[in-house]
Structure 1
Amino acid sequence: MTTTPPQDSAGPERGTPGPHDGAAPPGGPAVAEADPATAEAERPGWRRDVTVFLTGQTVSLLGSMLVQYAVMWHLTLTTQSGTVLAVSSVVGFLPQAVVSVFGGVWADRLDRRALIIGADATIAVTTLALALLMMAGADDLWLIYLTLAIRSAGAGIQTPAVGALLPQIVPTSRLMRVNGINGTIQAALMLLAPAAAAALYAGWDIVAIFFVDVVTAVVGIALLLTIRVPRLVRSDADAPVGYFDDLVAGFRYVAHHAFVRWVLGLFAVVFVLIVAPSYLTPLMVVRTFGDEVWKLTVNEVAFSVGMMLGGGAVAAWAANANRMALLLRSTLVFGVLSVAMGLSTNMWVFFSLMFALGLAVPFFSTPSTTVLQETVEPEMQGRVFGFVGIVMALAMPVGMAVFGPLADRFRVEQLLVAAGIALFAVVGLAMALPSGRRSIAAAGARATSDA
């Protein structure tokens, strides 16, 4: 039931303090550690821990994705109401955005592994309760809404803890590769989950999928319990710090850390702008190329296969690549592909562009996560990834609130072209900002020194 990989409780050896005054952090291959023996000496047994952790998270995530598809289909088939689907989206996203602010603080104050387990267990119990109630004949919409809200709140606790845990069990130089592998796994699940959910939903019903989700959560928790996570040692451990002091410190950290602010801003704007190609393309396919189901299927499969291959490429090739260069170049590629899709008049060319878009996504998402893991101090990572969770939870609804109504007034092709042009402007602005120039310069200098 997780959406992002956790990171173990890094001890004081993990990462040097990042600049709070806006100085640029490492943007290239932050710690180029090409010797596998060195990585093994840095964190003995890390490969086993990462394998067990990613296996547990994969199983748990599969259960969550099954529920996501099943609930969407169930509400669509039983209500055929756009309002019901809109409400389910709000209750499925908004609690995560709100709770992430506090979840990030908890991830820096408490045992991150325990937080992940607690959130997963709470979600599982809630889902089990809904399954039992539906078996007893209760089918009120408010029960489903409440369950979605609790699951979303659990993700708000879980996601920052997951984002702050991985650097503790992975050597710094291996973060890019491990994040790339995880992205490949998630893309593969995007292909598997809809088919599995459809088979379960058709053969049984939504209650059966709820029970499967509970089982996958138990498996994920059991595997996570086998991983030893060292206690996080804070640099301010001798000073009594209250919860709200940590909360305020998190806001101040992001506000005053120019590089973190720059990455989060870029992440948010790009996320909003890629809503058009990623969520409106099915509408374009139906309007322009026909409403056959197989065409919609090819559209989704092309994107998912591209993401899966892109994640593998990042893991195999880009581990030591300049993070900042990847971020900016992939954003430019998003812009080019968005414009090309808007101008495309051939269906198979369009599907090829969707594949290319999926291929490019890991070259943006993986380095953006990795550079934050490499830069932010271990005791601040929970709060920073709390803000990442807020961005992820709000960017898609905000993007759809903008592009959705526009799609009823303009052709989707026009919106794709506009989104692509806007992405070009984003890259120009990101490079023009002082924090952006300092970050890019530092990345280039680091890449040169490590070469």
Structure 2
Amino acid sequence: MNDDVLVSSTQELKEEEIIHVATQNSFKQYMFFWSAQRLSILGSSVVQFVIIWWITITTQSELLLGLASLIGFGPAVLLSPFAGVLVDRLNRKMLIVVSDALQGIAALALVILFMTNTASLWAILLILGIRACFAPFHNTTINAIVPTMVPKDKLSRLNGLNFFVNGIISVLGPVLGALLLAVLDIGWVLWIDIITLLLALIPLAFILIPSVEKVDQEKLKVKTVFTDIAEGVRTLAGIKGLISLLIVFMLCNFFITPFSTLLPLFVEKIHLGTEADYAIVTSFMQAAMIIGGLAMVIFKGFKKKNILVCYLSIMWTFVFISILPWVPIGRFWLMGGVLFVTLLVIPVINVTINTTFQVLIPQDKFGRASSALGTITSAITPLGMVLAGIIGELVGIKLVFICSPIIAFVIVNILWVATPIRKLDKTITKRFEELEEIEQEKAEKEEQIEAKQRSEITQEEMGVSTQEKASTTKKKIPLPQTEPSLSE
């Protein structure tokens, strides 16, 4: 078996995995669901901005801001593998409903704390941690249903559309959050999260989400869960060069984390900014996501050299973000411009990689494999959040911002040269060809079935027509006259 390909032959591929060939109807249903989910993301974006700014103003601490980021993100790393197992075994629609409902209850608890003036830092962190425990189950399920409902030729554009619309939402979120905070108490602002979450659940009553029939519906035991988690890791390891690529993304996430974690304090403490200034900076960042996402919607994606494109985009990111610590004090528009240029290629990286994963990973293992993928790439991100806070307090935010991209640039280049990452492009091309062959064969079979059905219907119609004609003819032929016999 050639290590450069995921499956040795198309025939093996057919026998080993169940492939739900997405149709135009399933795509329309998914887009209805997807549109409602954007409302929920808008509500979450507003609340995220409000809570982060409240923690920034209340604590004035790099360490506590890093701790807040860790609590909000850490559970996803720990629970994603278990979420992947459940997504491949249970009703996916029900998982979405339950996880969203539990997140809504946590959001309601936040509202109650602020509206009763009983909010404290540790109570807020506890609720954020509880809510973060439910997010992996929602996100993993959403990711797993995409390949089953969206045709392969629309995956790249859909992923680009995700970044485009999410970028717009992320711009609107901080701006809307800042405007609402200017006229309303924080408790009333938080209601937007609950309202949008409820609206996002409405489409689930009208759409059909495919389930994966191949997985045995046995009772979930501890041994079974860990066996499934290991299978997800083996699925990734079976693709030569993929683990090395995931390690690169893991390190990139680690070294980019100080910027996302300490940016609020960088604006407020180093540049003496306000929530409006922070909103300006984040709006530039999300504008980059909008434009980059729009470019990927218009552009159908890279058919070849996907991994090379990602590598060059990563280099672009760390080169330009290294300019950020040298921005003059109070020049928020310039700070936003630097981050705009830096993040312009992030949609290119994510759309290319997401589409690649959606094609490479078998559908019946997608939940387990994608959650393992997410865990690997985010494994040391929580550590980065904590270290960013600790080191930021010890040596200053600016020095952290200077050193992180330099170290990342060196390590990524070493891994690019020393590991088989570059061979992944051959694997991706081969897999695309295999899936295209499968879809073509299924389309031909469907055409043959339709042609056979049309032929049978035509024969039945011809048979009925012949009988009717014979019956009509029979009625029109006069009966012969009976001549009188001689006896008469």
1:220 aligns with 2:200: yes
Identity of aligned residues (%): 25
Secondary structure of 1:45's match? Answer: helix
1:206 aligns with 2:183: no
Query: TM-score scaled by structure 1?
Result: 0.79
CA contact 1:274–1:419 (8 Å) conserved in 2: yes
Q: How does 1:14-413 map to 2 (within 5 A)?
A: 23-24=4-5, 43-77=23-57, 85-132=65-112, 135=115, 138-139=118-119, 141-234=121-214, 237=216, 242-280=224-262, 290-293=271-274, 296-322=278-304, 323-341=306-324, 351-391=336-376, 394-408=379-393
Residue 270 of structure 1 deviates from its aligned partner by: 1.3
Q: 1:50 to 1:343 in 2, by over 3 A?
A: same
Q: Could you report, residue by residue, the CA deviation over 1:76-106 in whole angstroms, capped at 9, with x for unpaired residues?
A: 4556566654543333222222211211111
Where structure 2 has 5 or more consecutive residues not aligned to the other structure, the ranges are: 8-20, 437-488
Residues in 2 aligned to 1:414 and 1:119: alpha-carbon distance in whole angstroms: 40
Task: Name the structure, 1 or 2, with higher relative contact order (CA <8 Å, separation 6+).
Answer: 1
CA distance in 1, matches of 2:264, 2:241: 36
RMSD over equivalenced CA pairs, Å: 3.5
In structure 1, how many angstroms separate the alpha carbons of the residues matched to 2:60 and 2:265? 18
Q: CA deviation at 1:127?
A: 2.2
- The answer on whether the counterparts of 1:191 and 1:301 sit within 8 Å (CA) in structure 2 is yes
Shift of 1:445: 7.6
Whether contact under 8 Å (2:307, 2:422) holds in the other structure is: no
Residue 245 of structure 1 and its aligned partner are, at CA, apart by: 2.7
Q: Is the radius of gyration larger for structure 1 or structure 2?
A: 2
Count of residue pairs brought into register by the alignment? 415
Question: Does structure 2 conserve the Cα–Cα contact (< 8 Å) formed by 1:184 and 1:312?
Answer: yes
CA distance in 2 between counterparts of 1:239 and 1:402 reads 42
Letter in 2 for 1:23: D
1:91–1:428 distance in 2 versus 1, CA, 3 Å: closer
- 1:123 is displaced (CA, Å) by 0.9
Indicate if the aligned counterparts of 2:289 and 2:347 stay in contact, CA closer than 8 A. yes
Distance 1:297 1:424, change over 3 A: same
User: Separation in 2 of the partners of 1:126 and 1:277?
Assistant: 28
SS class of match (2:282): helix
Using the size of structure 2 for normalisation, the TM-score is 0.73
Three-state SS of the structure 1 residue aligned to 2:24 is: coil
Q: Distance in 1 between the 2:406 and 2:62 partners?
A: 31
Seen in structure 2, the aligned counterparts of structure 1 residues 284 and 130 have a Cα distance that, compared at 3 Å, is closer
Q: Distance in 1 between matches of 2:199 and 2:297?
A: 26
Q: Distance in 2 between matches of 1:79 and 1:263?
A: 38
CA contact (8 A) 1:160 1:389 kept: no
Q: Report the equivalent of 1:15.
A: none
Structure 1 CA distance for aligned equivalents of residues 309 and 141 of structure 2: 26
Return the alpha-carbon distance in structure 2 between the equivalents of residues 263 and 212 of structure 1.
38
Deviation for aligned residue 1:420? 3.5
Counterpart in the other structure of 1:436: 421
Return closer, same or farther for 1:283/1:128 CA change in 2, 3 Å cut-off.
closer
Partner of 2:119, secondary structure, is: coil
CA–CA separation in structure 2 for the residues paired with 1:304 and 1:165: 26
- Confirm or deny: 8 A CA contact 1:330 1:364 kept in the other structure: yes
Post-superposition Cα deviations, 1:300-341, rounded to whole Å, max 9, x if no partner, equal: 222221111011111211424432122112112113213444
Provide the C-alpha distance between the structure 2 equivalents of 1:336 and 1:84, rounded to a whole number of angstroms.
29
